Amino acid sequence: MVDAATDLELALSDRFRIVIGAAEFISPKPGTAFKGGQTATIRCNVTKTDRYDLWYSVDGGKSWVAIQQGVSAKQQSFNWKVPSVTAENVIIRASAVGLVCAELGNTSISIDTPTDVEEQPLFTGDALVGLPAPNPFTNETSLDFTLPVGNAVTIEVFDAVGKRIAVIAANEMFAAGQHSVRFDADMLPNGMYTIRFASGATVAQRSVVLMR
């Protein structure tokens, strides 16, 4: 910005970017209901751009979690594991690469409380593993489990691409009874994470969503 009278520069304007492109969601159709843990097929016709990002929001667009970034516009079908959350209005958005606010198109779905065995409290004789709470979470979530007898427990956390990013317990001995461990994600980016519990014959995986 320049003062017309003095010809002095008063301020520098931020650079802006013109976004060109459009996305039409073929599926899922608006209002489609899914169960947490299901695989949803996202079909999207994207024009006037080579690549785009896919995001979802469970809080009306206040915050966004990446589904996949840098998707080729030629890839018209994409499989997505629906997060294990409960939300009536989940927005799925296609955006310009690196710009979640630059929407190319969207659709919306609902997600019900998980009912499949994998996402329910699991008991195999060696441990009863609960569901993480809260989920989604902002900084910290807890996982409860019960051991009928004392046993070694390993609890690890993996990101969406399968990389281990935290170890909560490494073959650590726990006494018989109820226990609760915390997953602190204060330094991690928004996204889906998997908490893996192993003790004796029990191996359980729990999906959690970090959204700030």
> At the fourth CATH level, which superfamily is domain 22-112?
Immunoglobulins (2.60.40.10)
Domain limits, CATH 2.60.40.2550, in the chain: 121-210
Structurally, what CATH architecture does the domain formed by 121-210 represent? Sandwich (2.60)
Rounded CA-CA distance 120/205 in Å is: 10
What does the pLDDT average to over 167-187?
Answer: 92
Rounded CA-CA distance 118/81 in Å is: 14
| Residue 76, Ramachandran bin (φ over 0: left; ψ between -120 and 50: alpha; else beta) | alpha
Rounded CA-CA distance 8/15 in Å is: 20
- Evaluated on CA atoms 73, 87, 113, 133, the torsion sign reads positive
- What is the reported pLDDT for 117? 38
pLDDT greater than 70 at residue 54:
yes
The DSSP secondary-structure symbol of 177 reads E
What does the pLDDT average to over 85-101?
Answer: 87
Rounded CA-CA distance 53/103 in Å is: 9
Q: Each residue of 16-48: pLDDT tens digit?
A: 556 678 999 999 999 999 987 788 999 999 999
Domain limits, CATH 2.60.40.10, in the chain: 22-112
pLDDT greater than 90 at residue 155:
yes
What does the pLDDT average to over 130-159?
Answer: 90
Q: Each residue of 195-210: pLDDT tens digit?
A: 999 998 888 888 888 9
Q: Which two tokens stand for residue 166?
A: 């935290």
Bridge partner residues of 128 (DSSP): 123, 146
> Picking from 8-17, 49-58, 105-114, 138-147, which range would have the lowest pLDDT averaged per residue?
8-17
pLDDT greater than 70 at residue 62:
yes
For the entire predicted model, the pTM comes to: 0.57
Give the mean pLDDT of the chain: 82
